[in-house]
A and B are shown apart, each in its own frame.
Chain A
């Protein structure tokens, strides 16, 4: 699939006096599945809105293949940002029907695959004549996923696609995503809070915290830099001296710390009387963005 590079440079965004994104740089390479994770209010949806010209910015630039995305029909037709549907709109209930959303998607996305959309409607057992306000949270997510997948847009962005889906549907979603990716090789950016389940799907993970990109690295490489070291307090302190300690939990004289990097020093810890265990992406995220709230 002909996809380009989506790039944000020096993006700043404020809502009133509150600065939400601080001088943010990001490059989305083609042909990858990105996971965008961050805490509530970290700026994920704002960032995605700015990348797709749905939101304004105070300063900075967003380009697709070197061309500004803002008011650029060529760039916008290559990008699909499938947002969470809401049961209420500005003027009251969302009385639009599922079929209106699908028809609108067919109008705007040049690569819209009607046959695939129909297959997904049948599989998800969605009723096109039903109003959005009458759908369950899970069904709204299904519509979001359906639009994203059937759009066939070279850059497809999903915001909280798994929200409200049961575990079976979430598994099916990841399966559909991977099948589509294998088939088309298009770029996906998936923003989610359900990190553990989605971690195996993400080729690259972007962690955003308080309006700044904290990490943007291949998932395996990132996770591999982190370890839990646990054991007797004095031994753990001795082993971890000089390492970047992200969090620590203590129970009596037993201490567990989350550390980053270490290389030779961490390898040496394996000989000491401590347990060294790998961390999951979710643990890494908590260690990096927890700010002590998780303790």
Chain B
């Protein structure tokens, strides 16, 4: 498992560097263009919605992780179950990084006393490390991205189908994050948050199960 994790990490660390760099550019851009003072520009949007942008990036990373890497790893003598667990490790690293970034970025307005708190309400509402919703959403999107990559190499049609399902789940995920955020204070949702939470967990579990089956039956080409 360690070998396959090392194999995947040689590509993953570049992605991690990219997303960290992107976060840095967005933060610096927001600061330099006067977003803390109330400027409304692209950097403000990117800064306040960074956790959602991250979800799209995570999907792309997970997709790329599972297209040709399985073929390559198996052709070098990796075991299928090692690949599965190594992928889980990489997905955790990605989710952990996204979670940490969300915490770090939501701390910036507080640490640097940025006024205009209503401008980054969404970012501030995700609860840092105290809420499990955001990492769950990250892991679900990552699992579906990986599944999409695996399916796409076998059938473009089914790959696109999984992608469409992921988009729908992404919308549900956004809704979950919005309505469970601290800022809404709306009591109209009844059981919807818990239903979305369970749906998200079920989508992740189903995705993982199909990933396992696909890897198990995979043939190197």
- Which positions in A face B, CB cutoff 8 Å? 49, 52, 54-56, 71-73, 76-77, 79-81, 83, 89-91, 94, 96, 100, 103-105, 107-109
Contact call B71/A71, Cβ cutoff below 8 A: no
A224 CB, min distance to chain B CBs, angstroms: 37
Measured in the bound complex, the distance between the Cα atoms of B64 and A108 in whole Å is 21
> Which residue in A80, A83, A91, A107 is a CB contact (below 8 Å) of B220?
A83
A164 CB, min distance to chain B CBs, angstroms: 19
Contact call B76/A55, Cβ cutoff below 8 A: no
Contact call A109/B77, Cβ cutoff below 8 A: yes
- Which 10 A-B pairs rank lowest in CB-CB distance, beginning with the nearest? A90-B153, A54-B220, A108-B76, A76-B77, A89-B68, A91-B67, A55-B219, A71-B79, A108-B77, A107-B7
A119 CB, min distance to chain B CBs, angstroms: 21
A residues less than 8 Å from B217 (CB atoms)? 56
Measured in the bound complex, the distance between the Cα atoms of B218 and A49 in whole Å is 12
Contact call B77/A80, Cβ cutoff below 8 A: yes
B residues less than 8 Å from A73 (CB atoms)? 79, 82
* Total residues of chain B contacting the partner, CB 8 A: 25
B residues less than 8 Å from A96 (CB atoms)? 68, 72
Which residues B80-126 have CB closer than 8 A to chain A?
Answer: 80-82
Contact call A90/B67, Cβ cutoff below 8 A: yes
From A55, which residue of chain B is reached at the shortest CB distance? B219
Known: A55-B219, A104-B7. A90 touches B77 (CB 8 A): no
B residues less than 8 Å from A55 (CB atoms)? 219-220
> Which residue in A56, A72, A81, A108 is a CB contact (below 8 Å) of B219?
A56
A-B contact pairs, 22 of them (CB 8 A): A49-B220, A52-B77, A54-B75, A54-B220, A55-B219, A71-B79, A73-B79, A73-B82, A79-B77, A80-B77, A83-B75, A83-B220, A91-B68, A91-B149, A94-B68, A103-B10, A104-B7, A104-B72, A105-B76, A107-B3, A107-B7, A109-B76
Contact call B7/A108, Cβ cutoff below 8 A: yes
Measured in the bound complex, the distance between the Cα atoms of B3 and A118 in whole Å is 22
B84 CB, min distance to chain A CBs, angstroms: 11
Known: A76-B77, A90-B153. 19 other contacts (CB 8 A): A52-B77, A54-B74, A55-B219, A55-B220, A71-B79, A72-B79, A83-B75, A83-B220, A90-B71, A90-B152, A91-B67, A91-B68, A91-B153, A103-B10, A104-B73, A107-B3, A108-B73, A108-B76, A108-B78
Measured in the bound complex, the distance between the Cα atoms of B135 and A32 in whole Å is 54
Contact call B7/A49, Cβ cutoff below 8 A: no
